[in-house]
């Protein structure tokens, strides 16, 4: 009799040990993943019922929790002037999770971060309802509103950054949307709003500023020019600029959309008038490896380091001579986010030093104690200060008397580069402008994906440069 009982006891002991081991494993190693599991409604209900912290621009909340229906959801997420700030805040939804700063800083906003453990314990002991921390941003309200207004009903994006610190002053993607529609505690209404926004032809839920990549067109000539100068060229170095450049090993040729000013011009003149064949020849002389190395020094083919979700910009590898010439003018398979091209201009303006871009400056508890703070961080030195100085000279000349004249702002020293990226003969080209000012020390990128106008009226100077100037004027 003792034998069977002993076997049952051993079996039960093994099962108990296995249960305890599995419970321990789940508690130690799987807590975060289970809490993040979309089907975990208990966690979602608890999070949605919490008094979430605010996202602030100065002392003004651009996202905050307000009193809800008092039953299932005691609080509801509110977005004052939500359409202005949706590209930054993102959404906070019961069924569709989070995006933007709501996602990046979810744990501190929800009050569940490790830094808030003591506060949570004290809340339990005192019977006080827990409250999330506030996230303060670097954003400038006037610049943000100028960006959204200037973009208007176009599909596009604009970002402004203090190139000496990396502080993002404005970040807009249009068309915008109202995140309050997705945080509605009437879940049926929120689901209907999600379906409408998700299926809209204009793609309002896309973040074109950081999450999408596009052919950068002639704005990429800044990278090609940087590679040339690092290789020993100077602005006065001459390069062939024929009306048509046969692409090696190909039946195709590269043409110009502008008068280059001669069949042999200086590097500075080539940038001023955005001469394709001249920069195609620069790319052929440098070779693909030097172009790729410079692109990657600026951040292509690497994850972006901003504190909201961002796409990786691409420069093609293992390319032949014809593909190298096309890549040198920002075509072929080159693809960049507006954030990436902003980083190129900002690095040039900052004498060759690349700063880490950031939006959140500090996280503060309700007692105003600082849980986290952000300080300016150098990411590297893609180009020398001497190279940056020559590029600055060329960019200022481009605005003073080249394709960038629409970006002139009275009383300010402005440097920039236009771009008009052909990507599909059946679709309108993309319009770009990227540039900087010396005082205020700001770099700005403006990008227009679709303005719903005639193809022949689309250019970086005509469409994107006025967005640049509107934001710059707001920051003066």
Distance CA 359, CA 100 (A): 10
Distance CA 460, CA 472 (A): 17
Distance CA 164, CA 471 (A): 18
Two tokens, residue 266: 């200086």
For 158-188, b/e burial (b = at least 16 CB within 10 A) is: bbbbbbbbbbbbbbbbbbbbbbbbbbbbeee
Distance CA 350, CA 169 (A): 16
Distance CA 40, CA 43 (A): 6
Distance CA 298, CA 279 (A): 19
Decide if 255 is inside a domain. yes
At 131 the pLDDT is: 81
The number of folded domains in the chain is: 1
DSSP H helices, 231-275, are 267-273
DSSP structure class, residue 463: I
Residue from 173, 218, 288, 313 carrying the catalytic annotation: 218
DSSP H helices, 130-176, are 141-151
Residue 218 is among the residues annotated as catalytic for this protein = yes
Q: Are the C-beta atoms of residues 169 and 143 closer than 8 Å to each other?
A: yes
Decide if 295 is inside a domain. yes
Distance CA 50, CA 112 (A): 10
Decide if 466 is inside a domain. yes
At 467 the pLDDT is: 97
Decide if 87 is inside a domain. no
Domain that holds residue 225: 217-360+379-475
In 141-296 the beta strands, taken as DSSP E runs, fall at 155-162, 168-174, 238-240, 244-246, 253-255, 264-266
- Taking each continuous run of H as one helix and of E as one strand, the counts in the chain are 17, 19
Q: Are the C-beta atoms of residues 312 and 301 closer than 8 Å to each other?
A: yes
Q: What is the CATH number of the domain that holds 458?
A: 3.40.710.10
One pLDDT digit (tens) per residue for the chain, 476 residues:
577 777 777 778 888 888 887 777 766 666 656 555 555 667 677 777 778 999 999 999 999 999 876 667 888 999 999 999 999 999 999 999 999 999 999 999 988 877 777 676 666 666 666 788 999 999 999 999 999 999 999 999 999 999 999 999 999 999 999 999 999 989 999 999 999 999 999 999 999 999 999 999 999 999 999 999 999 999 999 999 999 999 999 999 999 988 999 999 999 999 999 999 999 999 999 999 999 999 999 999 999 889 999 999 999 999 999 999 999 999 999 999 999 999 999 999 999 999 999 999 999 987 788 999 999 999 999 999 999 999 999 999 999 999 999 999 999 999 999 998 876 666 778 999 999 999 999 999 999 998 655 555 567 778 999 999 999 999 99
Nearest alpha carbon to residue 57 among 76, 74, 77, 81: 81
At 460 the pLDDT is: 76
Measure Cα distances from 449 to 160, 247, 383, 452, 459 in Å. 18, 28, 30, 9, 11
Distance CA 132, CA 108 (A): 6
Decide if 190 is inside a domain. no
In angstroms, the first-to-last Cα distance of the chain is 92
Decide if 432 is inside a domain. yes
Element housing 277 (H / E) = helix 276-286
Element housing 355 (H / E) = strand 354-355
Decide if 145 is inside a domain. no
Decide if 16 is inside a domain. no
């Amino acid at each position: 009799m003792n034998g069977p009982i002993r076997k049952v006891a051993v079996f039960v002991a093994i099962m108990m040990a296995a249960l305890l081991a599995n419970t321990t494993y789940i508690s130690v190693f799987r807590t975060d993943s289970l809490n993040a599991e979309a089907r975990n409604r208990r966690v979602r209900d608890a999070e949605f019922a919490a008094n979430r912290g605010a996202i602030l621009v100065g002392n003004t909340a651009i996202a905050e929790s307000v009193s809800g229906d008092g039953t299932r959801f005691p609080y509801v997420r509110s977005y004052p002037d939500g359409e202005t700030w949706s590209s930054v805040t993102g959404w906070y939804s019961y069924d569709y999770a989070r995006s933007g700063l709501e996602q990046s800083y979810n744990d501190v906003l929800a009050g569940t971060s490790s830094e808030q453990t003591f506060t949570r314990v004290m809340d339990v002991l005192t019977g006080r309802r827990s409250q999330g921390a506030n996230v303060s941003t670097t954003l400038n309200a006037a610049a943000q509103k100028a960006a959204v207004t200037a973009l208007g009903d176009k599909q596009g994006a604009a970002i402004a950054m203090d190139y000496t610190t990396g502080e993002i002053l404005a970040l807009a993607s249009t068309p915008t949307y109202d995140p309050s529609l997705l945080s509605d505690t009437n879940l049926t209404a929120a689901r209907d709003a999600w379906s409408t926004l998700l299926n809209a032809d204009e793609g309002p839920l896309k973040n074109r500023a950081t999450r999408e990549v596009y052919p950068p067109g002639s704005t990429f000539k800044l990278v090609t020019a940087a590679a040339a100068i690092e290789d020993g060229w100077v602005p006065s170095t001459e390069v062939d600029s024929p009306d048509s450049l046969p692409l090696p090993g190909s039946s195709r040729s590269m043409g110009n959309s502008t008068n280059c000013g001669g069949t042999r011009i200086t590097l500075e003149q080539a940038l001023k008038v955005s001469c394709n064949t001249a920069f195609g020849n620069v790319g052929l002389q440098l070779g693909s490896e030097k172009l790729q190395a410079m692109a990657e020094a600026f951040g292509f083919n690497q994850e972006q380091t901003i504190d909201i979700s961002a796409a990786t910009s691409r420069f093609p590898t293992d390319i032949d001579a014809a593909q190298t010439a096309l890549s040198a003018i920002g075509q072929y398979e080159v693809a960049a986010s507006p954030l990436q091209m902003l980083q190129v201009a900002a690095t040039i303006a900052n004498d060759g030093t690349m700063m880490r871009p950031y939006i959140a400056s500090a996280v503060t508890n309700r007692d105003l104690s600082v849980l986290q703070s952000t300080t300016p961080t150098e990411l590297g030195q893609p180009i020398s200060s001497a190279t940056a100085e020559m590029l600055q000279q060329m960019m200022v000349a481009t605005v003073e008397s080249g394709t960038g004249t629409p970006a002139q702002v009275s009383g300010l020293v402005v440097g920039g580069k236009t771009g008009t990226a052909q990507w599909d003969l059946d679709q309108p080209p993309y319009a770009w402008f990227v540039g900087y000012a010396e005082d205020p020390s700001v770099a700005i990128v403006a990008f227009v994906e679709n303005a719903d106008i005639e193809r022949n009226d689309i250019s970086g100077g005509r469409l994107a440069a006025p967005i640049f100037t509107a934001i710059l004027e707001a920051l003066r």
